[in-house]
Each structure stands twice: as C-alpha cells, then as structure tokens.
Amino acid sequence: MARYIKKFKSTIALGPTEERGFALWVGYEIEGVEEDLSYAGLVKVDGWSEEMLAERGVTAFTRVEPADGATYRKLGIRE
C-alpha cells in the first residue's frame, strides 16, 4: 500500500469570483499499488512529513481497497 495525494479543482463557485477555482488536495491509501501514478495526477507521498502534507491541507487518507473499482476509475488508474 502506498499513499498518494491528488489535486481537485473546484468547479463550483462558493463565493465572490476571487474564490472560484481553488484547489483541494485529497489523500488516498491505495492498497496493492506502489508504482508512479503521476499520469493520473496522483503524487506519491510516502516519506513526506506531516508538515509537508499540512502545507497542502492533507490531514487524512481515504483507504482504497483493490475491489473498489469505482474509486480506481474515478482516480483514473483503472478502466
């Protein structure tokens, strides 16, 4: 299992126009995957410090099991 983060851009306006288009980093623990997934926009963060993750607002990781095909497809790492 490896830890990855992925940046998602907002598509919804939450306030004035200056607030539109913010990015949100989301953390994932992907079971059974260890390779480079940068082609899908995922950054491998194994070994990153808590401070480095906090700079991007990542405080938790969602565990993704091998049988969770929907999440794998959403992340762009399986068809």
| Domain housing 45 | 2-75
Res 74 pLDDT > 70: yes
Neighbour-count burial of 42, counting CB atoms closer than 10 A to its CB (0-12 exposed, 13-18 middle, 19+ buried): buried
Domain count, the chain: 1
Res 17 pLDDT > 70: no
For residue 44 the two structure tokens come to: 């491998």
Section 13-29 average pLDDT = 73
Res 18 pLDDT > 60: no
- Confidence band of 59 (pLDDT split at 50, 70, 90): very high
